[in-house]
Amino acid sequence: MSKAVFIAVAFAIALAVPLAAQSPAAFEQPLLITSAGQSADAQLAAVLAKKAELKADLVKMAGPKDLAGHKTLVLVLGASMKGLGAAGLDTAKEKDRIKGLLAAAKSQSIPVLCLHLGGEARRGELTDAMVAEYLPSARAALVVKSGDKDGLFTRICKEKGIALTEVDRTLDAVEPLKTAFAK
Amino acid sequence: MKRLAAAVLAAVLAAAGAQNPAPEKPPSPAPADRHVPFNYVGKNGMVVAAHPLAAEAGLAMLQAGGNAVDAAVAAALALNAAEPFASGLGGGGFMVIYLARNKKTTVISFREKAPAAATPSMFADKGEAAEEWKSERGTAVGVPGMPAGWDLALRRYGTKTLAQAAPRAIEIAEKGFPIGATFSAIDKDEYEKVLRNAGEATCYLNQGVPYEPGDIFRNPDLAKTLRRLGEFGIDDFYKGSIAAKIVAAVRAKGGIMTLDDLAAYAAQEVEPLHGTYKGYEILTAPPPATGGLHVIQMLDVLENWPIRAWGPESPAYIHHAAEALRFLFADHSRYMADPDSRPLPLDRLLSKEYARRIAAKVPDGRIAGEYPFSVFDESKDKRENTTHLAVADKEGNIVALTQSINDFFGSGIVPEGTGFLLNDHMRDFDTDPQSPNAPAPGRRPVSSMGPLIMTKEGRPFLALGSPGGLRIFPTLAQIIVNIVDFGMDLDEAIEAPRFFASSGNGKARPLVMETRIPGSVRGDLEKLGHSIALKEDYDKYFGGAQGLLFQWDKGIILGGADSRRDGAGAGY
């Protein structure tokens, strides 16, 4: 199958069915997990990946070079002023980093999976801005439902044809992750 | 007899433990919209605390015949079970006690101390990693004072033992309770620290991930620890098996604490600090607690202006108060230290003349722009931690108790099998070895806590305190002004919009405020030169105050509990 056909098929699968129902796997291992906004949720994603028995590396401030050897980029959306401060980043620097990373992933045909794990408490002006900017780059999104009370994720995913899976609780994300990366 | 009763109770409790019993349902008499001002009312006694289960535990102690000190310790222990991320056995605090019989006010000081191996440069030597070593490594942990403080208060002024005060906390820890949005959000915020230091299997995580609202939180290890304290007394904590676990946990994370440090710890009873404001007397914990001291200073400065005429949320009031704060932050940086290590110029700082001089430096139509040097950096101080409770009993005894493990979830270090979190109060020392507040053997770090009791004409008027780092004193001063000058009732005063300002390196830092302060007022303030930074409508950045207001003419006690956290009251 040519690369173009493969991408088209993968896109069609992603469009048609939610993440947990995608088979064959929408994504391949190993994963590079990084944060968009430097909240603790990226660490949480790494723990969930471990529970799902996935081969994953967490690099909270990943750059294009970190993509080497990885077949999926997991972008964990969630801004934390505390996290940004601890990382010595301001909003502009963080946005520049993510833009560069997404561009590199696109050029290497590495698909992006967006996660939002922090629920309602992890929404806010900065997180919402990042969701609006980066979620359209994703092939699929996995969201803890309380974070989508106002339908922000649903709306963007619908508009952009992104497969959206919502789970009630953080721990419920393990099974959809397993399925999404199942061989 | 007291000792025998304690032993019997401890034995009964030890036998009563059950596997995963039905979780507690917190009582919730407050209105559906928790931000609507709501005063709890009691005739005989009242407890206000940062969690309803703690308020209820204190009330149960009062109704069982305990006095205010007994109830305060029962509520404090319950907070260790119900709000473990803010305070607990691994921390310290300050308790202001008003004794009705002889109208005496006293203070139990149980602030943590630096280990004997501490040195002034211990954090500076870490370079860029200093903050991490101050907050998340073993060197972050000060020698805990909490059990010693509770025990000293009970022995001197209570009628119960620690074993008799602990059963409700043990029950909460064992049965568990559904956690709220506050606990869940904080668990998520501090996830990395908790995961790194307490591990994936800790009770502070739910199967390795943060708790969601509604999840049941249980802490059987804490229940066991509290039972041990009941059975063997605080010696087990400072010289026995718990001490060994504390030292092992701290040293495994690179810390310097020893068994000798724990064995040497003793809480102190000290005289309160006095101040006055418009005919009211303020009695508060003295340094190393600085919150009450700065409250008095702030109110002294405000006395020089017609703030009553200006009114709440007026540009003139907020402008002048913000400027006063900017000047006062210089005093904090320059003078505050453990009074056992160097004398503090308290008489001068608390003089009305000194306050007049500060007030005179504040221009009416603009910010001063230049302030005495202060090293405080608001941008690095996001701390919302700590907790406050207050109790009054039917005899008229009152307790105002502020306690903490410093940052939420403290250092994140849990001594094996104990269920309690160790503090990171070494972070309250300055990194600069030349600072009067640099670490040193046995030294206590400067604290922002400021539990206080106000009296008028010799009778208690208000008991008040709050968490919130260096926002504590501005928050408490604003609540007092809301009541005394603006005529608000207690909870209205607590829920009213708050603001905060500071100076750093001689320059004004932003005037931070809740969004409920109208845009037109913010605009007027900007015209005066203030840079405005907005927080949420009700933001725990500004603390979570709890208070009691005594209405002697009506024979009632009002309890106010802050909706910025999970504050609640219980009276009878």
Q: pLDDT digit string (tens) for B179-199?
A: 998 899 899 989 999 999 999
Please tell me the number of Cα atoms within 13 Å of B480 on its side-chain side.
Answer: 34
Cβ pair B209:A170 closer than 8 A: yes
- Give the model's pLDDT for residue B566: 85
Q: Smallest CA–CA separation between B201 and chain A, in Å? A: 12
Give the torsion sign (CA, B525, B531, B536, B539).
negative
pLDDT band at B4 (very low <50, low <70, confident <90, very high): very low
Cβ contacts (< 8 Å) between A175 and chain B: which residues?
none
Average pLDDT over residues B137-152: 98
Q: pLDDT digit string (tens) for A97-106?
A: 999 999 999 9
| Ramachandran sector of residue B565 (left: φ over 0; alpha: ψ -120 to 50; beta: rest) | beta
With beta carbons less than 8 A apart as the criterion, state whether B445 and B425 touch: yes
Question: Between B220-232 and B2-16, two packed helices, what is the crossing angle to 10 degrees?
Answer: 150
Nearest CA in chain A to B214: A169
Cβ contacts (< 8 Å) between A43 and chain B: which residues?
191-192, 195
Closest by CA to A59, choosing from A99, A97, A106, A110, is A97
- Give the model's pLDDT for residue B239: 98
- Give the model's pLDDT for residue B6: 36
pLDDT band at B289 (very low <50, low <70, confident <90, very high): very high
- Give the model's pLDDT for residue B499: 98
Q: Is the pLDDT of residue B154 over 70?
A: yes
Q: Smallest CA–CA separation between A108 and chain B, in Å? A: 31
Distance of alpha carbon A100 from alpha carbon A88, whole angstroms: 18
Nearest CA in chain B to A169: B212
pLDDT band at A37 (very low <50, low <70, confident <90, very high): very high
Nearest CA in chain A to B213: A169
With beta carbons less than 8 A apart as the criterion, state whether B436 and B335 touch: yes
Cβ pair A170:B382 closer than 8 A: no
Average pLDDT over residues B191-216: 95
Please tell me the number of Cα atoms within 13 Å of A71 on its side-chain side.
Answer: 10
What percent of chain B clears pLDDT 90, i.e. is strictly above it? 86
Q: pLDDT digit string (tens) for B330-355?
A: 888 888 899 999 899 999 999 999 99
- Enter the tokens of residue B393: 């009993």
- Residue B362, classed as helix, strand or coil, is coil
Q: Is the pLDDT of residue B8 over 80?
A: no
pLDDT band at A183 (very low <50, low <70, confident <90, very high): low
Please check whether the domain covering A3-180 is classified as CATH 3.40.50: yes
Domain extents for chain A? 3-180
Average pLDDT over residues B505-531: 96
Q: pLDDT digit string (tens) for A121-166?
A: 788 888 999 999 999 999 999 999 999 999 999 999 999 999 999 9
Q: What contacts B444, CB < 8 A, 6 or more positions away?
A: B111, B112, B113, B114, B142, B288, B338, B340
Nearest CA in chain B to A172: B209
Q: Smallest CA–CA separation between A100 and chain B, in Å? A: 26
Distance of alpha carbon B125 from alpha carbon B132, whole angstroms: 12
Cβ contacts (< 8 Å) between A47 and chain B: which residues?
195, 200, 208-209
Average model confidence (pLDDT) for chain B?
A: 92
Nearest CA in chain B to A48: B209
With beta carbons less than 8 A apart as the criterion, state whether B78 and B70 touch: no
- Give the model's pLDDT for residue A7: 42
Average pLDDT over residues B384-401: 95
Nearest CA in chain B to A38: B189
CB interface of B with A, residues 107-136, below 8 Å? 131
Cβ contacts (< 8 Å) between B190 and chain A: which residues?
40
Q: Is the pLDDT of residue B174 over 50?
A: yes
| Residue A180, amino acid | A
Q: Is any Cβ of chain B less than 8 angstroms from the Cβ of A81?
A: yes
Average pLDDT over residues B125-138: 95
Cβ pair A51:B208 closer than 8 A: yes
Q: Is the pLDDT of residue A12 over 80?
A: no
Q: Which residue has the higher pLDDT, A121 or B387?
A: B387
Q: Smallest CA–CA separation between A12 and chain B, in Å? A: 33
- Give the model's pLDDT for residue A18: 56
Nearest CA in chain B to A168: B212
Cβ pair A122:B380 closer than 8 A: no
Distance of alpha carbon B82 from alpha carbon B180, whole angstroms: 10
- Give the model's pLDDT for residue B382: 61
Q: pLDDT digit string (tens) for B257-286?
A: 999 999 999 999 999 999 999 999 999 999
- Enter the tokens of residue B392: 């009054």
Give the torsion sign (CA, B306, B312, B316, B317).
positive
What Cα–Cα distance (Å) separates residue B393 from each residue in B58, B71, B155, B322, B491? 10, 9, 18, 37, 20
Nearest residue, CB atoms, B188 vs list A47, A121, A169: A121
What Cα–Cα distance (Å) separates residue B440 from each residue in B38, B429, B434, B469? 45, 9, 11, 22
CB atoms within 10 A of CB A144: 24
Range in B12-16, B61-65, B525-529 with the lowest mean pLDDT: B12-16
With beta carbons less than 8 A apart as the criterion, state whether B67 and B158 touch: yes
Cβ pair B210:A44 closer than 8 A: yes
Nearest residue, CB atoms, B188 vs list A40, A81, A169: A40
What percent of chain B clears pLDDT 70, i.e. is strictly above it? 92
Cβ pair A171:B209 closer than 8 A: yes
Beta bridge partners of B401: B95, B389
Q: Is any Cβ of chain B less than 8 angstroms from the Cβ of A111?
A: no
Distance of alpha carbon B487 from alpha carbon B78, whole angstroms: 34
Q: Smallest CA–CA separation between A24 and chain B, in Å? A: 28
Q: Is any Cβ of chain B less than 8 angstroms from the Cβ of A76?
A: no
Q: Annotated catalytic, B105? A: no
ipTM for this model = 0.78
Q: Smallest CA–CA separation between B511 and chain A, in Å? A: 18
Range in B28-37, B342-351, B366-375 with the lowest mean pLDDT: B28-37
- Give the model's pLDDT for residue A9: 42
CB interface of A with B, residues 127-166, below 8 Å? none
Distance of alpha carbon A70 from alpha carbon A32, whole angstroms: 6
Give the torsion sign (CA, B122, B123, B129, B132).
positive
- Residue A72, classed as helix, strand or coil, is strand
Q: Is any Cβ of chain B less than 8 angstroms from the Cβ of A123?
A: no
Cβ pair A121:B195 closer than 8 A: no
Instruction: Tell me the CA end-to-end span of chain B in Å, nearest whole number.
Output: 28
Mutation to test the B interface, candidates A47, A53, A120, A146, most B Cβ within 10 Å? A47
Q: Smallest CA–CA separation between A78 and chain B, in Å? A: 11
Cβ pair B188:A48 closer than 8 A: no
Average pLDDT over residues B159-182: 97
Cβ pair A43:B191 closer than 8 A: yes
- Enter the tokens of residue B224: 């066991």
Q: Which residue in the list B202, B284, B386, B402 is annotated as catalytic?
A: B386
What sections of chain A are H helices per DSSP? Answer: 3-16, 41-51, 81-86, 91-107, 125-134, 152-160, 174-180
pLDDT band at B380 (very low <50, low <70, confident <90, very high): low
Q: What contacts A128, CB < 8 A, 6 or more positions away?
A: A152
Distance of alpha carbon B508 from alpha carbon B525, whole angstroms: 13
DSSP output for A102-122: HHHHHHTT--EEEEE-SGGGG
Cβ pair A43:B195 closer than 8 A: yes
| Ramachandran sector of residue B209 (left: φ over 0; alpha: ψ -120 to 50; beta: rest) | beta
pLDDT band at B17 (very low <50, low <70, confident <90, very high): very low
Tell me the pTM.
Answer: 0.89
Distance of alpha carbon A172 from alpha carbon B403, whole angstroms: 36
Give the torsion sign (CA, B411, B415, B421, B424).
negative
Average pLDDT over residues A108-120: 94
Q: Is the pLDDT of residue A90 over 90?
A: no
Cβ contacts (< 8 Å) between A170 and chain B: which residues?
209-210, 212
Q: According to the 3-state scheme, what is the secondary structure of B364-427? A: CCCCCCCCCCCCCCHHHCCCCCCEEEEEECCCCCEEEEEEECCCCCCCCCCCCCCCCCCCCHHH
pLDDT band at A120 (very low <50, low <70, confident <90, very high): confident
- Give the model's pLDDT for residue B392: 98
- Enter the tokens of residue B132: 């991490």
Cβ contacts (< 8 Å) between B380 and chain A: which residues?
85
